Amino acid sequence: MFVKNCWYVAGWDYDLPQGKVLARTIIDRQLALYRKQDGGVVAIEDRCCHRHAALHLGQIEGDCIRCMYHGLKFDPSGRCVDIPGQDRISPKAVIRSYPVVERDNWIWVWMGDPALADPNLIPFSVGPGDPDWDMRPSSLVFDADYRLVVDNLLDFSHITYVHRKTFGGEQFSDGLPKITKLDRGFRVERWLRNAPALVFIEHIMTGRYDMLVDYSVLMPCVFVMRFKIFAAGTATEGPSNGQLLLDTWTCQSVVPATADQCVYYFSWGASKETATPEIGDLLYAGINKAFLEDKEMIEAQHRNIKLQPDLPMIGIAHDAAVNQMRILMNRFIEAESAGIAAE
């Protein structure tokens, strides 16, 4: 159920200060992460090759980490470089090390074949460190199959219902959005016309607006959306020249820990031109509240599916992108298990 040959977010960069060893579970694998002296991140198996002690309980020594059970020391490549009580070190004394890239304040880890770890496959995103945007990062744990969260993101008709008290957006469940196939995912576009602003900012944006929703969902689980609010009637389709009142990015990553748990990293923020501190606070509070609504709904859905996994699901028109993404992901997973790269 997991794609291996892809970059997964292991956390925000601020989750991993120098000197800390961080434990993470990604696609059923236990990782320990720490920073080298130059700040570069090492991601290794959280399991000493000797007796399987947890390396997140270890001690950083220079660029290496020492298992604090019996003292084996590993370099960033995972090679054991010291075994107390003996001089010779078996070449088998190696743990797995994973390719890591830090970009846009996310720590990206490649869980598959290291030879295929192409940084160009890291999706575009806008991080909290970007000087042009007031991005605020957050995270939540969902006790659910990550694919249910991916489904959720690919069908915004749920906004009308799940988020009726936070976002509102009755138009989301009306017509269908425009869906475009991408190399490793889908782009979804939709205009909301002459609509009230999202519920959580209605008290400061009291009129009616044109709103652009334009997002991509990329394998396996990255969501990046441009959301813009224009004065009603001023914005045209395509590269907009309307009266732009609020311009935002939200960047989200849903990272499968196990079959039954995933971690959701997300940020939302406005451009410095259109942001105010109040808007920043509202976006941050709004997305956190809304994602707790998703969490409640999706965790209950996950429990239902676990209880009777073989019951059929009845398809509806809004499932289009959801279904296409599942097909795409399954094609990648099957290609990986067959040992060939998916097209």
Chain residues that interact with a copy of itself, rule: CB under 8 A: 28, 30, 46-47, 49-54, 56-57, 66-72, 80, 83-86, 90, 92-93, 151, 155, 157-158, 160-162, 164, 173-176, 296-297, 300-301, 303-305, 307-308, 311-318
Nearer to a copy of itself, 83 or 140 (CB): 83
Q: How far is the CB of 72 from a copy of itself (least distance, A)?
A: 7
Q: How far is the CB of 341 from a copy of itself (least distance, A)?
A: 26
Nearer to a copy of itself, 276 or 330 (CB): 330
Nearer to a copy of itself, 18 or 90 (CB): 90
Nearer to a copy of itself, 124 or 161 (CB): 161
Distance between CA atoms of residues 66 and 70, nearest Å: 9
Nearer to a copy of itself, 313 or 340 (CB): 313
Question: What does the DSSP assignment read for 111-137?
Answer: -S-GGG--GGGSPP---TT-TTB--EE
Q: How far is the CB of 106 from a copy of itself (least distance, A)?
A: 25
Spell out the long-range contacts of 223-231 with Cβ–Cβ below 8 A and sequence spacing 24 or more: 223/153, 223/250, 223/251, 223/252, 223/253, 223/254, 224/123, 224/124, 224/125, 224/126, 224/249, 224/250, 224/251, 224/252, 225/249, 225/250, 225/251, 225/252, 229/197, 229/205, 231/207
Q: How far is the CB of 285 from a copy of itself (least distance, A)?
A: 21
Nearer to a copy of itself, 68 or 81 (CB): 68
Max CA separation in the chain (angstroms): 77
Distance between CA atoms of residues 318 and 323, nearest Å: 10
Q: How far is the CB of 230 from a copy of itself (least distance, A)?
A: 24
Distance between CA atoms of residues 287 and 293, nearest Å: 10
Q: How far is the CB of 211 from a copy of itself (least distance, A)?
A: 18
